[in-house]
Amino acid sequence: MNPIDVEQYLADRKIIIDRALDGILPLPDTYPSSIHQAMRYSVLGDGKRFRPIVALAVFEAMRGTDRMIMQAACALELIHAYSLIHDDLPCMDDDDLRRGKPTLHKAFNEAVAVLAGDALSALAFELLAATGRPDIIREVARAIGPQGMVGGQVVDIQSEGRPFVSEELEYIHSHKTGALITVAARVGAMLAEAGSEELTALTCYGEKMGLAFQIIDDVLNIAGKKETMGKNAGTDQEKRKATYPALFGVAQSQREAQRLIAEAEQALDPFGSSASILRALADFVIERAR
Ligand code: GRG
């Protein structure tokens, strides 16, 4: 079998997802236009679309046929964009650069940024409702709520500038970032009607890969280039954030991410060659420079 060109795969998928997102987001001149312009500013353009790509790739590996998959995948990207907007606000990480351009509150203002996040969340759940699957709506709501993404962000903010232990760090990373990547894998599997053993294996894949994703995000914040990443580097150290490199150093953090990715790929063993693209996505997580 030919080796997978994962960069090409991601680029091809991004085009398809962006076309769908463009159709889903209200036109920029829809009244009140400032909020619709803000939503489009944050969602469209740069960004890897990793979460919807994971959902689509799992769905295809499980030979899913439900035509609502694209709506569900796009809902995950809207939620991700919402989390980035709020994460960048002055009351959170206070960043001025995201996806190679000024953060939303810099380009518009803080009120519009808060409201654009709220609006993207509402639109995401409208899309999820269109799947007709209350189980999927519940899964996503739980993954991003106080026991998921919001919970991780709360502990992240509270742990700034004070000593922290590895258990706390794992909690932050697996919740603020891992939960959405895990639920992306689960949504793809659930819409494809995967069996319970398959769902368990794909959940493990998502959890390990999601944790590794944030560890590499931490490493890139130290070792990455602002121009490549489209966001500022060095900010975690400035804010004395709870990160893997702060606790273990860069080299050990990379080894930990590699170990997690090996475990994520092990979880795919039962699927054989039908999960090749899922393995390639896992490898991308530790090889990425952005
Ligand atoms: C949205 C429910 C909800 C809650 C808001 C602000 C917040 C609570 C959570 C923050 C979560 C957050 C921003 C975690 C960081 C995740 C992360 C690694 C972002 C970067 O993801 P990439 O690299 O970015 O996929 P692109 O730009 O490629 O999409």
Chain centroid to Cα 152, Å, comes to 13
- Taking CA atoms only, the protein residue closest to ligand 1 atom 3 is 83
> How sure is the predictor about 3, in pLDDT bands with cuts at 50, 70 and 90?
confident
Q: What is the predicted pLDDT for the residue at 53?
A: 98
Strands 101-102 and 97-98: antiparallel
- Taking CA atoms only, the protein residue closest to ligand 1 atom 29 is 47
Atom of ligand 1 nearest to the CA of 145: 2
- Residue 249 three-state SS: coil
**Per-residue pLDDT tens digits for 240-261:** 999 999 999 999 999 999 999 9
- Alpha carbon of 164 to ligand 1 centroid (Å): 21
Chain centroid to Cα 210, Å, comes to 8
Mean of pLDDT values over 179-206? 98
Q: Which amino acid is at 128?
A: L
Q: If you average pLDDT over every residue of the chain, what do you get?
A: 97
Q: What is the predicted pLDDT for the residue at 74?
A: 98
Cβ atoms within 10 Å, residue 178: 27
Mean of pLDDT values over 176-192? 98
The fraction of the chain above a pLDDT of 90, given in percent, is 98
- Alpha carbon of 3 to ligand 1 centroid (Å): 30
Mean of pLDDT values over 17-26? 98
Residues with CB under 6 A from ligand 1: 47-48, 50, 79-80, 82-84, 86-87, 92, 99, 144, 149-150, 153, 176-177, 214, 217
**Per-residue pLDDT tens digits for 75-133:** 999 999 999 999 999 999 999 999 999 999 999 999 999 999 999 999 999 999 999 99
Read out DSSP for 210-240? HHHHHHHHHHHHHHS-HHHHTS-SSHHHHHT
Give the residue, out of 217, 235, 239, with the most ligand 1 atoms within 8 A of its beta carbon, to mutate for a pocket test.
Answer: 217
Mean of pLDDT values over 130-137? 98
Q: How many whole angstroms separate alpha carbon 69 and alpha carbon 76?
A: 11
Q: What is the predicted pLDDT for the residue at 2?
A: 62
**Per-residue pLDDT tens digits for 26-71:** 999 999 999 999 999 999 989 999 999 999 999 999 999 999 999 9
pLDDT above 90: residue 1: no
Yes or no: domain 6-287 corresponds to CATH 1.10.600.10:
yes
